[in-house]
């Protein structure tokens, strides 16, 4: 297997050009920093700073609400001035925000920091996807989005393992080091972005007979895009929206696992993606993207079922069960992450592409409000097992919507 992995990755890296290669290198560096801190924020706020779990859930929800309000204007700005400038500004904001987490001691400081981080984060997703779309021929986009997701998870996995080796339970300084490194990786990505000179990621120049300007009215009249966005929102709420908050709390506080387990748990997820994404992409190339995304809800529901079963096992086996649940979850991710961006960019003309990708970004923002809020309330009320059941049922909800989307698009 190890000898096959480099060759399988080269199959996709050979499709890159110098500009897209730089963009993905920056993303890997940045994701390493994110992997060091992503799963530990609520643990940090609760165990090291003394905030309640309810307040921690509120912090995540406020941050997601800020992203929700900022995504729309950012999407229009990408269409107006191009993705490069918006992405660079967002990365600077996130660098400052990541550093600020190391200084937080009061409730208002935590809220101010999450606002700063969220303003930056919401300026990254849409321009990053638009830039990658413009830099890649249409026939290669699904593979490049899959490679993007695979490299993102490689960085996250490496970061989570580094965090597991640095973190000392009860040590404030060890957590501060993680946020210092996270801040640096955002700045490194910023430096790479401003070094890319391709006109493709600047302000878009429309071709003959092409609409120069678009609006959110044009976007909202595109029914397939709206249905894809709504179904994705439901899926995200009961998937990604609760991973960063629910899995760490469920593992450490309900199952009683050490925080060091979190690096192993999320490492199992991310390295599964690194290993199996090329295989999944080959399978996806033989199937309709509309049919493929229907299976994502089933994978994620199965993942939550394993999480629920972990409570019936001895502690070490419970930890292994959570790892297995995240591997199952990863297969759903490996289908959704290359397929959904490809579909959204196929369905949207260039003059509203920034807005369309911003709408997809809203899935992360809104689910980031709903997911942590549901988690905080249910954990605060001691309903951890009921929480797992709600997640299981919620993952199945978008399947009828995705079936309708497949029927709506001609040829599918």
**Token pair in block for residue 213:** 């300007």
**CA-CA distance, 161 to 207, in Å (whole number)?**
47
CB 265 within 8 A of CB 251: yes
Has residue 4 got a pLDDT over 50?
A: no
Has residue 320 got a pLDDT over 80?
A: yes
Amino acid 209: pLDDT: 54
Has residue 384 got a pLDDT over 90?
A: no
pTM, 2 dp:
0.73
**Token pair in block for residue 399:** 């399947």
Amino acid 265: pLDDT: 83
CATH of residue 369's domain is: 1.20.1250.20
227 closest CA partner among 290, 157, 321? 290
> Is 5 domain-assigned?
no
Number of compact structural domains in the chain = 1
**CA-CA distance, 126 to 137, in Å (whole number)?**
18
CB atoms within 10 A of CB 285: 11
Amino acid 137: pLDDT: 82
Average pLDDT estimate for 29-54? 82
> Is 208 domain-assigned?
no
Amino acid 165: pLDDT: 79
Of residues 353 and 190, more confidently modeled: 190
Using pLDDT thresholds of 50, 70 and 90, give the confidence band for residue 302. very high
Task: Give pLDDT tens digits for 270-283.
Answer: 778 878 888 888 88
Summary mean pLDDT of the chain: 83
- Alpha-carbon distances of 173 from 303, 358, 386, rounded to whole Å: 34, 36, 36
Amino acid 2: pLDDT: 42
Of residues 167 and 332, more confidently modeled: 332
Contacts of 68 (CB under 8 A, 6+ apart): 362, 365, 366, 369
Of residues 149 and 368, more confidently modeled: 149
Using pLDDT thresholds of 50, 70 and 90, give the confidence band for residue 244. confident
**CA-CA distance, 321 to 126, in Å (whole number)?**
35
CB 259 within 8 A of CB 40: yes
Per cent of the chain over pLDDT 70 is 92
Using pLDDT thresholds of 50, 70 and 90, give the confidence band for residue 191. very high
> Is 7 domain-assigned?
no
Of residues 213 and 126, more confidently modeled: 126
178 closest CA partner among 328, 36, 334? 36
Has residue 196 got a pLDDT over 80?
A: yes
> Is 4 domain-assigned?
no
> Is 192 domain-assigned?
yes
> Is 102 domain-assigned?
yes
Average pLDDT estimate for 355-364? 78
For CA atoms 253, 254, 260, 262, the dihedral sign is negative
Of residues 43 and 216, more confidently modeled: 43
Which domain range does residue 121 map to?
12-203+214-408
Using pLDDT thresholds of 50, 70 and 90, give the confidence band for residue 5. very low
> Is 64 domain-assigned?
yes
**CA-CA distance, 315 to 320, in Å (whole number)?**
9
What phi and psi, each to the nearest 5 degrees, are found at residue 43?
-65, -45
> Is 209 domain-assigned?
no
Has residue 410 got a pLDDT over 70?
A: no
Helical residues (DSSP H) of 348-383, grouped into ranges: 353-380
Is residue 288 classed as helix, strand or coil in its secondary structure? coil
Amino acid 116: pLDDT: 93
Task: Give pLDDT tens digits for 62-89.
Answer: 887 787 788 778 888 888 888 889 999 9
Has residue 14 got a pLDDT over 80?
A: no
**CA-CA distance, 412 to 407, in Å (whole number)?**
6
């Amino acid at each position: 297997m190890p000898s096959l992995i480099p060759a399988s990755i080269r199959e996709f890296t050979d499709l890159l050009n110098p500009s897209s290669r730089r963009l993905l290198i920056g993303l890997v560096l940045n994701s390493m920093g994110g992997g060091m801190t992503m799963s530990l924020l609520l643990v940090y706020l609760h165990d090291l700073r003394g905030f309640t779990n309810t307040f921690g859930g509120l912090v995540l929800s406020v941050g997601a609400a800020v992203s929700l309000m900022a995504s729309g204007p950012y999407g229009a700005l990408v269409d107006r001035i191009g993705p490069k400038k918006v992405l660079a500004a967002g990365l600077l904001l996130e660098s400052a925000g990541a550093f600020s987490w190391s200084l937080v001691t009061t409730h208002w400081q935590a809220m101010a920091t999450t606002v700063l981080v969220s303003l930056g984060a919401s300026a990254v997703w849409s321009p990053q996807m638009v830039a990658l779309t413009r830099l890649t021929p249409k026939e290669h986009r699904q593979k490049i989005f899959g490679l993007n997701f695979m490299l993102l998870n490689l960085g996250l996995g490496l970061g989570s393992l580094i965090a597991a080796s640095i973190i000392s339970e009860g040590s404030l300084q060890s957590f501060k080091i993680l946020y210092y490194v996270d801040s640096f990786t955002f700045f490194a990505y910023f430096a790479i972005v401003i070094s890319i000179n391709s006109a493709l990621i600047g302000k878009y120049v429309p071709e003959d007979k092409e609409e120069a300007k678009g609006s959110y009215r044009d976007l909202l009249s595109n029914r397939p895009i709206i249905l894809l966005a709504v179904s994705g929102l439901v899926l995200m709420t009961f998937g990604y929206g609760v991973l960063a908050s629910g899995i760490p709390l469920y593992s450490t506080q309900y199952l009683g696992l050490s925080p060091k387990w979190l690096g192993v748990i999320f490492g199992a997820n991310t390295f599964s993606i690194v290993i199996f994404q090329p295989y999944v992409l080959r399978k996806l190339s033989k199937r309709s993207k509309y049919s493929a995304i229907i299976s994502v809800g089933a994978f994620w529901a199965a993942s939550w079922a394993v999480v629920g079963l972990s409570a019936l096992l001895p502690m070490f086996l419970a930890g292994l069960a959570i790892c297995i649940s995240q591997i199952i979850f990863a297969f759903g991710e490996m289908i959704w992450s290359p397929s959904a961006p490809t579909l959204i960019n196929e369905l949207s003309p260039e003059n509203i592409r920034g807005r369309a990708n911003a709408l997809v970004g809203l899935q992360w923002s809104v689910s980031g409000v709903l997911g942590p809020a549901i988690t905080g309330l249910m954990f605060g009320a001691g309903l951890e097992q009921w929480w797992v059941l709600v997640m299981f049922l919620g993952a199945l909800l978008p399947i009828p919507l995705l079936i309708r989307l497949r029927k709506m698009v001609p040829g599918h």
